[in-house]
Amino acid sequence: MTNVFNMKTTSKPKRAATTSTFVVNLGEGKTLAMETRVPYGAFISEVRKAKNYTELNELIGEEGFSMKSVKPLVTYLDLPQDKFASLIGVSSRTISRWDNDSMIGVLASKTLLELDRLSKKGIDTFGDAELFKGWLKQPNVALGDVAPIDMLVEPYGVELVEDALEALEYGNIM
């Protein structure tokens, strides 16, 4: 079953990702200026101030993000507690003990950063957070008729969902 969302053909301006410029010394007096983009911060607001991946590492720190920091993303995705637990590699019981100030750990934080990046890309693609959320919940041919939201808990789920999203960006309706 293929689901088609009515997407406007006019392109909306995409939100600018945080950029940072690096100068690489090529030797013999030659340099190359390179600009990097950090495409995070759709729902985890504190990462918007990061200019590069080094700063993202510093933000995650040794304990990861607080539950309060990632709650907007978790709320947006609307995952049941057991799926959320599976996604970040902890038990449902552990999550039930967390409060807003609980630190979720480095690996869980990185996983949620990747979901934040995917969400930003999806919202930019669809031009609307609710349209992207609807796409996440519909079975997708490119994912074997599995809804993208259900695919996210797989080891390479984020990458597979991103591939399906990119196919959509290039005109393949999925």
Segment 142-172, tens digit of pLDDT: 899 999 999 998 989 999 999 999 998 887 7
- Range 78-116 burial, b when 16+ CB lie within 10 A, else e: ebeeebbbbbbebeeeebeeeeeebbbbeebbbbbbbbb
Q: Beta-strand (E) ranges in the chain?
A: 18-27, 30-38
In this predicted structure, what is the pLDDT of residue 113?
A: 93
In this predicted structure, what is the pLDDT of residue 41?
A: 85
Please answer whether residues 35 and 19 qualify as being in contact, where contact means their C-beta atoms are separated by less than 8 angstroms.
yes
**What span, in angstroms and rounded, lies between the C-alpha atoms of 19 and 17?**
6
CB-based burial of residue 128 (10 Å sphere; 0-12 exposed, 13-18 middle, 19+ buried)? middle
In this predicted structure, what is the pLDDT of residue 37?
A: 57
Whose CA is closest to 36, among 49, 50, 52?
52
Task: Extract the residue ranges of the chain whose pLDDT is less than 50.
Answer: 1-18
In this predicted structure, what is the pLDDT of residue 50?
A: 86
Per-residue CA distances from 4 to 1, 114, 138 (Å): 10, 25, 10
Model pTM greater than 0.85? no
